Structure 1
Amino acid sequence: MTHDPAPLPEYPRPQLVRDSYLNLNGRWRYAVNDGTRPGSYDGDIVVPYSPEAPLSGVGRQLRPGETLWYRRSFEPPAGPAGGRVILHFGAVDQTCRVWVNDVEVGGHTGGYLPFSFDVTDALREGGNTLDVAVRDDSDTGWHARGKQRLRRGGIWYTAQSGIWQTVWAERVPETYVERLTLTPVLAEECVEVTVHAPAGEAAIEILAAGEVVARATAPAGSPVRVPLPGARPWSPEDPFLYDVTVTLGADHVRGYFGMRSFSVGPDGDGVPRLLLNGRPYFHAGILDQGYWPDGLYTPPSDEAMVDDIVMMKQLGFTMLRKHIKIEPLRWYHHCDRLGMLVWQDLVNGGETYRPLVITTPAILPLRLDDRRHHRFGRADADGRAAFESELRETVEHLRNVVGLAVWVPFNEGWGQFDAARVAGELARLDPTRTIDHASGWHDQGAGDLLSLHVYFRRFRPPRPDGRVLVLSEYGGYSLPVEGHTWGEKEFGYRRYRTAAELGEAFVRLHEEQIVPAIGKGLSASVYTQLSDVEDELNGLLTYDRAELKLPADLIRSVTRRLTFHDHP
């Protein structure tokens, strides 16, 4: 089998970069069966696109109970003789087992987080074979699944499966840097660096605009604070990044960080606000689902991710709420370097929930106690434990992301449980960020934010409760654009037939409801949404990203007023 140029060839881990890199994206063989090792294959699949995605070349839905098999050949990555070879998977939905040369090297469960195996002892000189077997219960089990559903429609989207982020390998020395923790301490003008490795002493260099500004040494596993006098703060308006290089024996890695702080505190009038670098900063956000018509969860290119971020920044948004999905690390890297704040949702799971429990608060002011797990589809203790395990893994995975300002563990009661306790655990794991413990309806009075979703009715700021007030979803106005819709159906919270009507409604919504609320405590807003997704036609962009539905100047005339310096 010949291999075409790999899609998504860019280095997938921008904050821990090595020169040794073998991209394994491209054409693999695939088969779908009952779980037995296949004797023959059904055809080719383009990795890292799920078989349900058009870009995979397959066009087949993996069903619960079926096994999706992958196979390809490869030669180990180039590099000095000796050392170890690590095989990496960015994400595989949902459960997989992996073999190299018919030697099982490991397995993984969880469709949104990366994993890796040391495959050195299974390799041989010259060609090697790599086999992966995947099973996906989708929404029939309690595993994290986001907005995937086998019976898609409305706010639920095409279920996908299998490998959906980059597969790659690297050669490392016997003792190597496993990960870095880079924690800016802006108030003390220093960065805390932890080099995670089994042994050794690391040499650290910090660079600003290519010039070395600080050096330090640190024993493996021990944090060291590196002074940066006169540190330049990171912000959306000035997304300045420092580079860092680390040498541990024969291992050399490169990364970056930004000097910034996230917190909550009173403004000059005593109103609780979100703070960036110690000062009130309004988060003018937009909901970002991260779906693509040809790749589903997987973007068609690195440039496509950049284009989304750049467009929203040009329209005046300063924050993206990444909605119940974990993106490839390169997406976060682009947010960091371009200057975009991120609110990161955890990925929901749980058994099938009761619609009345989930939807009633959209109309009535009902707040149920989420310690009654069965109400929220969380009666299964294993499912709750898996969510909390993935929460901890997600925090470590994204800990170094510069622009990540807010953690969102639960959205609208979808698989919600013990949200107050979970928020406390999140705060312990990561005290450097703020927490929206229950975005939308079933508020438990915890976290840093009083977080509201308002559709179908007028937004009226509630009575303050000591937390920061945020409108974490609103709008959702839909407009179909001829020639740029995904199907025949239309879902939106208010429907418009012309761009002029949509534009008038968009401006009126903000002038009458959102901007006046800023002076009454509103500190962040999240408009629904960045782009159309399948039946949902309520994006500012069409699903194919070909058309912006409103004039850019009109949108900017609204977003420039979403600030603490320009409200009545």
Structure 2
Amino acid sequence: MKRLIVLLQVFLIGACLNKELTNDQELQKPIIQSPWVENPDEIGHDFYPRPQMKRANWENLNGFWDYAILPKGEKLPTLFDGQIRVPFAVESDLSGVLRKVGENQELWYRRSLSLNSLQDGKRFLLHFGGVDWESEVFVNGKSIGVHRGGYDPFSFDITPFIISDEDQELCIRVWDPSDQGPQPRGKQVNIPNSIWYTPVTGIWQTVWLEEVPEFYISSLKNTPDFDKKTIEVLAIISSESVADKVVVKALDEGMLVAETAVTPGEKAELKIQNPKQWSPKDPFLYDIEISLMQGDQELDKVYSYAALRKISQEVDENGIQRMMLNGEFLFQYGPLDQGWWPDGLYTAPNEEAMLFDILKTKEMGFNMIRKHVKVEPAQWYYHCDRLGMLVWQDMPNGDHGNVWEHRLGIVGKATDKQRSQESEQIYLNEWKAIIDANYNFPSIVVWVPFNEAWGQFNTKEVTEWTIDYDKTRLVNSASGGNFIMDGSKITGHMIDLHSYPEAVMPDPNIFGKDNILVLGEFGGLGLPIAGHTWQNEDNWGYQSFTDKEDLANRYKQLIDKLEELIQKGLSAAVYTQTTDVEIEVNGLMTYDRKVIKLDRDWLRSLHQKLYDLEIQINQ
């Protein structure tokens, strides 16, 4: 006991010293980088950032901005430290800064905007894809609004703050306490270690300016009804409008297949004749056009897309709950995808790099990705939509501290964490915003509010709210977390185990009558590749190997085991993980994406057996 206390004291002293060093500390340049950064001209995000609601008149504001790091609470600065490349976090190599900020300081950005003379009936909207965590926006020295949330997009109408015939000054203040605050932050910690990674502070997704008419479509909600063969479109209008109708069209490769007109605020139902369904094998997308009309005059028009697909829960011939896609059982198998980069941290170097991970995952024969405690830019989900990749979307975790009582399918005695009212509200606000922002992407089939009891609170209430708020998807209440009862069943649609490295499943005799049985994490087989690791020593995996042959043999054993478990009632599994991340080397690819550790054709053939199993479903 004395030895334990001494060790604890040493750890706490060391942690305090390290914590002091994290503030405004220069970070070491990574020893590896992804291939996309070798040509500086190709670095950046120049694609249209909102694929579900496109307009023509927009300007990308990414690029080099002025930056300053100042003590928390300082006023708008007049002097700046240098330049930072947006949209890369200040701690990343691609930002050009490589400095930590910490909870006692704030990061400031500044740039000028050259706008055309403001015309009557035109407005300028300033959009942010993602800023971690609290951001305040200033236009020409005036604060125009504050946003709190690192994973949801937001915007401000800057029209009232524009000074005619002058360049506009845009400043952003960002505060991010990382793991020193209660906010959702995923795997970020001030002192990276083990499965916890470098902090991500500031702008990490595209900043862009959009010119819109006086009355405009501010958002869309596209809801498929697979059984009725309809797509429901709700267009939200910016304000009380002079428009008298909204015209909505669905097109199949340019050919009109459905059209309807409704009054503003009314849901438009498109009845699709000879419908084409969306699935991993055939990810068909209907183009959607939405026009805001006043008589014959078109006030505004946006372009979107939608798909007919259905995710549901059904019972097989043995009375076991199964996860169904479009009315048929499809075993869902994919990697845990954390979306980190050695050079950009949260932000891929460019769109080609972002797409690379999805393409390689598909080439390896996976049909699903679990996006782990991070939310990606909208363009990432668009690529999943068009390529036919199912997505399980996690809520980024935060405010840890409760006990984890997960025991391989046995309901433990742990209770939910008692979070402060502020902490709970921060979570609930951002979870709703994340669902709203990503509702229209058909690839997302499962919401995951909690992971492994990390900040897990009010599980039953949060799960029931999520199920009620989005009835088009299934809800995995706590992947590998504390299982909370709802009467005689686990709350939510699933019970989800985590097991390293072995493939296991919840007991179908206990849980399978009410809940879908899934293996939310397993594997984690580690293989460091010399010259492709975050650090030269002390890298790790859940089970480590020294050569690819041994790794392949062990991986095949896990897949063979999955075949047995599927027959017994397993509906999905998630292998850890897509790539190495910092000191973790249990990826199918190295962190720099330059080495794929197992043969892609061999993996695809191996995985196909999981989808070919015949399972009878009672309908």
Cα RMSD, aligned residues only: 2.0
- 1:25-104 maps to which residues of 2 (within 5 A)? 25-34=62-71, 35-76=74-115, 82-104=121-143
- CA drift of 1:567 comes to 8.5
Q: What is the aligned partner in structure 1 of residue 563 from structure 2?
A: 515
Q: What is the aligned partner in structure 2 of residue 166 from structure 1?
A: 206
| Contact in 1 for aligned 2:43/2:349 (Cα 8 Å) | no
- CA drift of 1:365 comes to 4.7
- CA drift of 1:421 comes to 1.6
TM-score, with length taken from structure 1: 0.94
Amino acid at match of 2:357: D
CA change 1:189–1:364 in 2 (3 A) is closer
Equivalent residue in structure 2 for 1:480, among 484, 506, 528: 528
The answer to whether 1:267 aligns with 2:320 is no
- CA drift of 1:254 comes to 0.2
Q: What is the aligned partner in structure 1 of residue 19 from structure 2?
A: none
- 1:339-488 maps to which residues of 2 (within 5 A)? 339-350=388-399, 352-353=400-401, 357-358=403-404, 361=406, 365=410, 367-371=412-416, 373-374=417-418, 378=419, 380-444=420-484, 445-457=490-502, 459=504, 461-464=506-509, 465=511, 466-487=514-535, 488=537
TM-score, with length taken from structure 2: 0.87
Q: What is the aligned partner in structure 1 of residue 283 from structure 2?
A: 239
For 1:255 and 1:565, the matched residues in 2 are separated by 36
- CA drift of 1:558 comes to 2.1
| Contact in 2 for aligned 1:473/1:526 (Cα 8 Å) | yes
Range that drifts further, 327-336 or 362-371: 362-371
- CA drift of 1:52 comes to 0.3
| Contact in 2 for aligned 1:20/1:78 (Cα 8 Å) | no
Equivalent residue in structure 1 for 2:573, among 516, 525, 536: 525
For 1:502 and 1:484, the matched residues in 2 are separated by 17
Range that drifts further, 461-470 or 320-329: 461-470
Amino acid at match of 2:204: W
| Contact in 1 for aligned 2:44/2:62 (Cα 8 Å) | yes
Equivalent residue in structure 2 for 1:490, among 536, 539, 553: 539
Equivalent residue in structure 1 for 2:227, among 187, 190, 211: 187
Q: What is the aligned partner in structure 2 of residue 543 from structure 1?
A: 591
The answer to whether 1:313 aligns with 2:362 is yes
Range that drifts further, 229-238 or 555-564: 555-564
Which digits, 9 at most, give the CA deviation of each residue in 1:378-425, with x for residues without a partner? Answer: 2x1210122112121111111101111000000000010121221110
- CA drift of 1:566 comes to 5.8
Where does the alignment leave 5 or more consecutive residues of structure 2 unmatched?
1-40, 294-298, 485-489
| Contact in 2 for aligned 1:461/1:517 (Cα 8 Å) | no
Range that drifts further, 293-302 or 215-224: 215-224
- CA drift of 1:80 comes to 6.6
For 2:166 and 2:317, the matched residues in 1 are separated by 68
Amino acid at match of 2:493: D
Amino acid at match of 1:76: L
- CA drift of 1:148 comes to 0.3
Where does the alignment leave 5 or more consecutive residues of structure 1 unmatched?
none
Q: How many residues align?
A: 556
For 1:539 and 1:6, the matched residues in 2 are separated by 24
| Contact in 2 for aligned 1:267/1:280 (Cα 8 Å) | no
Q: What is the aligned partner in structure 1 of residue 329 from structure 2?
A: 280
For 1:80 and 1:521, the matched residues in 2 are separated by 63
Q: Percent identity?
A: 41
Amino acid at match of 2:457: F
| Contact in 2 for aligned 1:362/1:441 (Cα 8 Å) | no
Q: What is the aligned partner in structure 1 of residue 4 from structure 2?
A: none
Q: What is the aligned partner in structure 2 of residue 212 from structure 1?
A: 256
- 1:1-40 maps to which residues of 2 (within 5 A)? 7-34=44-71, 35-40=74-79
| Contact in 2 for aligned 1:344/1:408 (Cα 8 Å) | yes
| Contact in 2 for aligned 1:45/1:56 (Cα 8 Å) | yes
For 2:119 and 2:366, the matched residues in 1 are separated by 46
- CA drift of 1:368 comes to 3.5
Secondary structure of the 2:358 match is helix
